[in-house]
Amino acid sequence: MKKYILSFLTATSLATLVYATPIKYSASVYGTGLSYDKSLIKDNGYVVGVYGYMGIGYYHSLEIGLDYTHINYKNNNPDLDQTDLTFVYTNYYFTKTKLRMGFHYIDSDDKLSDGGYTVILGAYRYEPYKWNIGTDLFYSHYNDYINLNGSKGLDVYQITPRIGFYFGNYYKYGSFYAELSGTYINHSDDVGFGKSFSSVEGSLSYFIKNYSFTLSAWSGERSFMVDKGGFVVFNLREKYKYGVSLKGGMSLNKNLGLSASVDYQKFEEIGNPNDVKILTYMVNLGYSF
C-alpha cells in the first residue's frame, strides 16, 4: 500500500510544480461507530479516517481517502482489521462537464477480499446550482474469493446513474437539493445471494445560513456495492435490503466545518435466519486552506 501513497504524493508534487495556477487544499478527519443487532458474527466496531482534496486551478482536482476499520467478532472469532485507500482524479476541462477516474484498494484480514481493488469511472453534465446528471461506473475484483460453485475469483460490475436539481432561495428561506439515483450490480459468480442486484435511492438536502441537513433513504438489494463515489466499498459476504440516513453540518468559520450523521441499514448474512440491523454514527471535522 505504501507504493500507492508514494505515487499519489509524487503526482501531487508534480502537479504543484507544473501548473502555474492557484492550488486549493482541504482536509478532514472522521470517526465512525458501528453497532450490530441480531448478527451471528459481528458485535460492534469503528472506522477512523482522513480525507484530502487538492484543487488545481479550474480544471483539475485530486482526492485521497485513507480508512482503518476494526470490527469485533463474536464467539472468540478473530476480529477484522482492514485498511482502505482511495485515489480519485477529476477533470473539468470541458464546459459544464465533470469526468472522474480513480482507484480503491483493500488491505484486510478477510482472506477472501484481501488485495481486492475497485476501478472508478464517472461522467457528469451540470449547470451550477441548477441541476446535474451523470453516471458512475465501478469494476471490483477479488482474486481469492471462493464462490458457491467452488470457483476462485469474483468480478463485480456496477452502474449508478443519478440526477439532481436545486430549488429554493438561499437568501430568503434557504435552498434545497434533491437527488435520485439507481444502482445495478452484477457478480461474475454467486457468493450466496444470487448474481444481480438493483436498488433506488433518494435524498433531500436543505441549506440555510451556516447550516445544512440531509435526509436520504434507499430500498432494493445491494451486495458488494461501491458507495460514496468510490470511497466506500462493501467487501464482505452480505446482502443489504434498505437504509435511511440523517446528516447535519455547520460552518464554524470560513475555513472550519463540523458534521455528524447517523445511518440505519438492514442486511442478510450467510447462515442467519434473521435480518441484521446496523446502526452507524459518524462525526467529521474539516478544514480548508
Per the CB < 8 A criterion, the answer to whether 202 and 180 are in contact is yes
**Strand intervals (E) in the chain:** 23-37, 42-56, 60-73, 80-91, 97-108, 117-127, 131-146, 152-169, 174-187, 196-208, 211-222, 226-227, 232-233, 238-251, 256-269, 276-288
Residue 10 phi/psi, 5° resolution? -65, -45
Which of 134, 102, 148 is closest to 121 using CA atoms?
102
What pLDDT, on the 0 to 100 scale, is given for residue 160?
99
The total of other beta-carbon atoms located within 10 Å of residue 58's CB is 10
pLDDT-based confidence at 148, cuts 50/70/90? confident
Full-model pTM:
0.91
- What residue segments make up the domains of the chain, in order of their start? 2-288
Summarize pLDDT for 149-199 with one digit per residue, the tens: 888 999 999 999 999 999 999 889 999 999 999 999 999 999 999 999 999
Round to whole Å and give the CA distance between 251 and 239.
36
pLDDT tens, position by position, 28-72: 999 999 999 999 999 999 999 999 999 999 999 999 999 999 999
Asked if pLDDT for residue 82 goes beyond 60, the answer is yes
Q: What pLDDT does residue 183 have?
A: 99
> 71, 29, 35: which is closest to 236 by C-alpha?
71
Distance CA 272, CA 267 (A): 10
Q: Domain 2-288: give its CATH code.
A: 2.40.160.60
Which of 7-16, 89-98, 252-261 shows the lowest mean pLDDT across its residues? 7-16
